[in-house]
Amino acid sequence: MSDRKVISFENLKIACKSCSLVTLCLPMGLDPEDMDRLDRIIKRSRPLHRGDHLFRESDPFECLYIVKTGSVKTYAPSEDGGEQVLGFHLPGELIGLDAIENASHNCSAKVLETAAICEIPFGHLEELSTSMPSLQHQMYRLLSREISQDESMLTLLGKNNAEERLAAFLLSLSARFKRRGFSPYDFYLSMSRHEIGNYLGLAVETVSRLFTRFQEEGLLEVERKHIKLLDLQRMETVTRRSHSDKDRIQST
Amino acid sequence: MSDRKVISFENLKIACKSCSLVTLCLPMGLDPEDMDRLDRIIKRSRPLHRGDHLFRESDPFECLYIVKTGSVKTYAPSEDGGEQVLGFHLPGELIGLDAIENASHNCSAKVLETAAICEIPFGHLEELSTSMPSLQHQMYRLLSREISQDESMLTLLGKNNAEERLAAFLLSLSARFKRRGFSPYDFYLSMSRHEIGNYLGLAVETVSRLFTRFQEEGLLEVERKHIKLLDLQRMETVTRRSHSDKDRIQST
DNA sequence: CTTTTCGTTTGATCTGGATCAAGTTGATTC
DNA sequence: GAATCAACTTGATCCAGATCAAACGAAAAG
């Protein structure tokens, strides 16, 4: 009887080959047959809502997750109730790669905006990649990319001041929205000022003041979560405003 | 004629199965036959000396490197001659994993202490791992571990103050020396104060003052590069001295 | 041996961003 | 509508750690 309902559910469960994310997601570059094989092990859950967890720290590691729609943050909770935000994840991005090693998650993943998620049982994925060199290659690439990203984040936290960090953050979001077919100039933040600050190693107040300052400088317009970047070019230069000649380490 | 020389060179070129690092290195856990297959693609170069580069940023990515003896630092050079130290690498540690994605290195690797290095052509390794599930699994684990480590470094830089960072750094070195059969209490630093500071996002002077302070507090004895940790237990508590209840983010 | 050089230490001062303290603005509930 | 509450903003103050400055010591070079 409730055929319509089933059908509308199924709409969310598009196969990889008909998914708009295919060019920037895990199956990227697989040939149609391989993509089908991968497709068969992927589970597509009903949408999760703001505040829901994909997994929590110390949960047993079963699956990798890919954001299909919506957004997700990952964070490392600390004993005392604090947390370090590790990343914000947009459609097509893979979550959980840091859990492979010790078979349990060492961060938590929480939904920021209602999200459709693809679940990939890692055991199956690993098995599949044994007989599918292109998939194995893709996994190596994605793992490696995650490392590169973490390293540039380390550089950002180690070397850049507050305004450089926020500028870099906004430009990163902008570029990622662009790749996904959204405007790189005009978008909504799915995270709070608090979460941005936490992610960037800054206090909320600093983030807030910087938004105000950037607006005064004509770099952007901001109204709550709504951001309009007015000058990407100039924002780019802000990320290097303090080109610190300091700590050069002379070659030995 | 120079048989002795050849033999002494060959001493450095021990096969994985007779290498003392086998329990914490790439071939860890492979069965003897697989280990031999891996062994055959590994190149063992003559020792490199302080200041030599394994590779530089933007070099084409050909190989992964494993430190066999000595130590190596990796760092991201920036346009203006500065750099961000990304890591210090001890025997058994794999270097270059961040280069897989874009086929060229995005950091540089420089020898700190005369080092024997194993070179692993990545193309061959990837090929091999296609037909060797245990090797593939090991690669996934090592890539994942790198991500975990980078993430805990992000937390350290984002949340911890100067003394917590240095304490954590010393304990990390201590634990890694211990795993390698060296004393966890008594060791030599192969990097300068400057490089430690750079790695931890601190000024040289701060690092120096902290060493002095730790010594005054009876946590360690330091004489130039020589460190004696007197109380690991207490040092552990130093890494959490400021348990900042701040930035809790209430669950939504 | 003396001189240079580079890494390190120590002291004095300065400052970016944290912290503290009020508001303000919207959204949600009653 | 009023009341509550959470997210955000803005201002005032403070401080950890950066920066500046100077000296010291070890090791290398002459």
Q: Are residues B169 and B233 in the same domain?
A: yes
* pLDDT of res. A242: 79
* pLDDT of res. A251: 41
Between A45-59, A133-147, A234-248, B131-145, the lowest mean confidence (pLDDT) is in A234-248
Which residue's CA lies closest to nucleotide C8 at its C1' atom?
A: B208
Please report, for the domain that includes residue A8, its CATH number.
Answer: 2.60.120.10
Q: Are residues A181 and A152 in the same domain?
A: no
The helix (H) or strand (E) run that includes residue A77 is strand A63-77
State mean pLDDT over A43-64: 92
* pLDDT of res. A62: 95
* pLDDT of res. A243: 67
Q: Are residues B137 and B13 in the same domain?
A: yes
Q: CB-based contacts of A161: which residues, under 8 Å, 6+ apart?
A: A241, A242
Residue A245 scores a pLDDT above 80 = no
Domain for residue B246, yes or no? no
pLDDT in tens, A23-42: 999 999 899 999 999 999 99
Please report, for the domain that includes residue A165, its CATH number.
Answer: 1.10.10.10
Tell me the helix, strand and coil percentages in chain B, rounded to 5. 45, 25, 35
In angstroms, the CA A227 to CA B49 distance is 51
Instruction: Give the number of C-alpha atoms closer than 13 A to the C-alpha of residue A100, restricted to the C-beta side.
Output: 27
Q: Are residues B82 and B195 in the same domain?
A: no
Domain for residue B166, yes or no? yes
CA nearest to A108, candidates A122, A121, A89 = A89
* pLDDT of res. B252: 39
* pLDDT of res. B12: 61
How far: A192 CA to C27 C1' (Å)? Answer: 15
Q: Are residues B29 and B126 in the same domain?
A: yes
pLDDT band at A252 (very low <50, low <70, confident <90, very high): very low
Q: Are residues B142 and B36 in the same domain?
A: yes
Residue A8 scores a pLDDT above 80 = no
Residue B249 scores a pLDDT above 70 = no
pLDDT in tens, A98-156: 999 988 999 999 999 999 999 999 999 999 999 999 999 999 999 999 999 999 999 99
**End position of a domain, from candidates A128, A156, A184:** A156
pLDDT in tens, B53-74: 999 999 999 999 999 999 999 9
State mean pLDDT over B4-10: 45
pLDDT in tens, B96-153: 999 999 889 999 999 999 999 999 999 999 999 999 999 999 999 999 999 999 999 9
* pLDDT of res. A79: 80
How far: B250 CA to D5 C1' (Å)? Answer: 13
The helix (H) or strand (E) run that includes residue A38 is helix A32-41
Residue A4 scores a pLDDT above 50 = no
* pLDDT of res. A42: 93
Strand D footprint, Cβ within 7 Å: A 192-194, 204-205, 207-209, 211-212, 222, 224-225, 244, 246; B 161-163, 201-203, 205-206, 224, 250, 252
Residue B9 scores a pLDDT above 70 = no
Whether the Cβ atoms of residue A121 and residue A27 lie closer than 8 Å to each other: no
Find the closest chain B residue to A50 by CA distance: B252
pLDDT band at B82 (very low <50, low <70, confident <90, very high): confident
Q: Is A201 on the interface with B (CB under 8 A)?
A: yes
Between A18-27, A56-65, A200-209, B183-192, the lowest mean confidence (pLDDT) is in A18-27
Cα-Cα end-to-end distance for chain A: 77
pLDDT band at B15 (very low <50, low <70, confident <90, very high): confident
Q: CB-based contacts of A47: which residues, under 8 Å, 6+ apart?
A: A12, A69, A70, A114, A115, A116
Task: State how far the alpha carbon of A84 is from the alpha carbons of A77, A198, A210, B117, B232, in Å.
Answer: 6, 6, 21, 35, 25
Residue B198 scores a pLDDT above 70 = yes
pLDDT band at B11 (very low <50, low <70, confident <90, very high): low
Q: Is A250 on the interface with B (CB under 8 A)?
A: no
**End position of a domain, from candidates A114, A139, A156:** A156
Q: Are residues B66 and B20 in the same domain?
A: yes
B229: containing domain: 160-238
Sheet holding B186-188, edge to edge: B186-188, B226-229, B220-223
Q: Are residues B224 and B200 in the same domain?
A: yes
In angstroms, the CA B13 to CA A26 distance is 39
**End position of a domain, from candidates B91, B118, B149:** B149
Question: What residue type is A108 in one-letter code?
Answer: S
pLDDT in tens, B167-191: 999 999 999 999 999 999 999 999 9
Whether the Cβ atoms of residue B116 and residue B44 lie closer than 8 Å to each other: yes
Nearest C-alpha of chain A: how many angstroms from B164? 15
Kindly write down the DSSP assignment for every residue of B224-242, as one continuous string. TTEEEES-HHHHHHHTTTT
Counting the structural domains of chain B, the total is 2
Q: Are residues A186 and A199 in the same domain?
A: yes
Domain for residue A250, yes or no? no
Q: Is A4 on the interface with B (CB under 8 A)?
A: no
Cα-Cα end-to-end distance for chain B: 77
Q: What is the mean pLDDT of chain A?
A: 90
In angstroms, the CA A148 to CA A165 distance is 17
A–B interface: beta-carbon pairs under 8 A: 177
Q: What is the DSSP letter of B106?
A: S
Please, which residues 9-48 of chain B have a Cβ atom closer than 8 Å to chain A?
none
Q: Are residues A148 and A164 in the same domain?
A: no
* pLDDT of res. B85: 96
Strands B108-121 and B53-55: antiparallel
In angstroms, the CA A221 to CA A218 distance is 7
Q: Are residues B33 and B133 in the same domain?
A: yes
Q: Are residues B55 and B167 in the same domain?
A: no
